[in-house]
Structures are given as structure tokens and as C-alpha cells.
Amino acid sequence: MQGQSLKLGKILGIPFGLDYSWFIIFVLITMSLSTQFAHLHPTWTSAEHIVFGITTSLLFFGSVVLHELGHSALALRYGIPVKSITLFVFGGVAQIAKEPEKPAHEFNIAIAGPMVSTALGVVFHGIRFLTQGTAEGVSSQAEWLGRINLMLALFNLIPGFPLDGGRVLRSLVWKLTGSFERATAAAAASGQFFAYAFIVFGIWQALAGNFFGGLWIGFIGWFLLHAAQSTALQARFRHALRGIKARDVMTGECLQLPGTISLADLVENYLLRQGARCSMVMDGDRFRGLVTLHEITQVPKDEWALTPIQAVMVPEQQMVKVSPDTDIDVVLQVMNEENVSQIPVVENGKLLGIIGRDRLLGLVQIHLQLKA
């Protein structure tokens, strides 16, 4: 287990897991399916209803995984890393490490998922046709799975972020305007419109007597609204920081010290007195590694006096670093992905400066306020 999800392994080299919220929807769908099978097949035992409910539910979530693998396979084809695939209460999500470089790539990655779901819907309806009258249990399962996969494909084609249709819309606007930021803003605005429509419809359904159904539709709308608003903020962020490079914000505030000094010396005589949060380990003019508060706190205090900083530093070869011409939004993205608070700016093996998360977030806030 890690964070909020249960890691199950890898598919196509992609980590696959279950968010803890998934167990809620799995139980609800299984109960609903078991009830449906009880109405369709009253001569079955209760155990048979439950078993068919569980297996159908598992096949449905297997379909969701295949949907996300459709996105992932195209992303990998275009050289875009896929960090993970996770099932959660609202379905599944493939976490792609970066945005596509071309509108055509965006379109193909987005449409792949609904195409997989459509194909599965056709396959399951074919199985239903072949088993009808001979294997009624399998036929009932296939009918529901065929219908739900086609519904999944249609739902995801709604043209608003974060749904696949929103990404299709973004690819088309991107192609027409040549602006990724404008396309993202348009898709996010469309996503917010459909999200509010879901919320209003859900409230209406709840008031009309379909309380739990309406509540669920409203929750879906809330989730879509949150995601669409985050996407809109990201578009503003990209626009505000356009043209700013790592060299424009890097500083030399991080200490530069030889690797032979002890952790105790570093803490007592440098960090506490100067208020610094990190030290770059130097061998003359050569940058060798970085020591931050994280590395220091991993060593017991009674060992600080005997531990040189070079023993705990993150070596330069293992560090996440950027070049001076890296766009600043990419720098922040790398920081978030790698969970680091400082990132060195290096060119041809020479340390030019360092970028701290606090300074970078402060810069983002200033630009968003002044360019709003």
C-alpha cells in the first residue's frame, strides 16, 4: 500500500492499483447486480445471485482498465510516460506524465479509450447473442456488460474536461487556433458547463424522488466541476508564466560547501544561523550533490558529528535537474512529479544555481495576480 491506493502490480510496465474509494463503488455495483439477477432469475439460489453479481462487477472494472490501457498504449507509442492506472469511486484514470506535443497525438490518445469501450460493448452483445437460450446466466452478464460499455463510451465523449470528449475538443481547438492554452481554456469551460448541468439534473432527480440516483449524478457533476476548474487554473498558469525560463528564477541562496564537513557543522554553523534549507556539495567548482533537510533528518542526531555531508547527499548523477532554458512551468511539474523542494540548474556539468519551491510558488502567485 502507498498513499491512498493499494498497488496491485504492473500492466504493460505501468503500475496498477485501487484507490480505497473503489471498494465503495465495487460493493454498490455488486449489490445492484445481485438484485437485478434475483429479478431476472428467481429460480437461482442467493449464492448464485451474489456470485454472478461479483463476477459481472469484476468484468466491468476489467473493462474500465482496458479503457484506460487504450489511452496508455497510445501515450506510450508517442513517447509519453504513463505513471499509473488507478481505479477509484468514479471509474478509472491513467496518469500521463506530460501533455502531448501535437493535436493529433492528443486526439488519438483521447479517442482510444472510448473506442476500446465501444469494441467491448460490441463483443459482449455478440456473446449475449450466442449464449441466449443456452447459457442464460452468461447471456444476462453479457447483456449488461455490453450496454454499460457502450454507455461508458458515450459518457466519456461528452465534450468537456476531464472527460475524453473534452480532450478531443481540446485537440480540435488546438489544431484550429495553434494555441494549446486557448484550447485548454475552451475545453475546461465546456467541462464546467456540463458539470453544472449534471449537478442541476442530480438535484432535480433527488427532489423528484430518485434521491440516491440524483445524489450520485450530483457527485459526478461535482467531481467534473473540480477537475474542470483545476484545468482552467492550469491554463491561466501556463499563460501567466509563458516565456519564463529556469535561468530567470534560479538563485544562489543554497549553500556551497565541501563534502567533508559534518552534518552537525552544517546544521549548527550554517543552516540554523543563516536560515538556509539546503547545501550543495562541491568539489572545487564541480557540483557533486545536494543535501536538504530531508536527508539530514534521516540520520539520528547523535550521529551528526561523525557523518560527513557527502555521505548523505543525493549524488549529482541521481538528482533531478534542469537546464537553464527549461520553461518554468515544466520545472514546477518536475518538482511535483519527483516530490522535491529544490532543483539544481546545471549546464555541461556546471552548477549555475538552484530553484526552490517556495520561491517558485511565490513567483507563480505574483504573475497570476498581475496578469489576471
Which are the catalytic amino acids? Answer: 68
Q: Which of 332, 287, 337, 336 is nearest to 313 (CA)?
A: 287
What does each C-alpha distance from 232 to 22, 84, 176, 220, 256 come to in angstroms? 27, 23, 19, 18, 40
Separation CA 261–CA 309 (nearest Å) = 6
Backbone angles phi, psi at 41, to 5 degrees: -130, 75
Amino acid at 267: V
Separation CA 40–CA 296 (nearest Å) = 64
| SS3 state at 356 | strand
Please name the residue ranges forming H helices in the chain.
22-40, 46-77, 103-131, 136-156, 164-177, 180-207, 211-240, 246-249, 263-266, 272-274, 293-297, 309-312, 328-338, 357-370
Q: What is the DSSP letter of 68?
A: H
Residues 366, 360 contacting (CB under 8 angstroms):
no
| SS3 state at 95 | strand
Q: Exposed (0-12), middle (13-18) or buried (19+): which is 301, by Cβ within 10 Å?
A: exposed
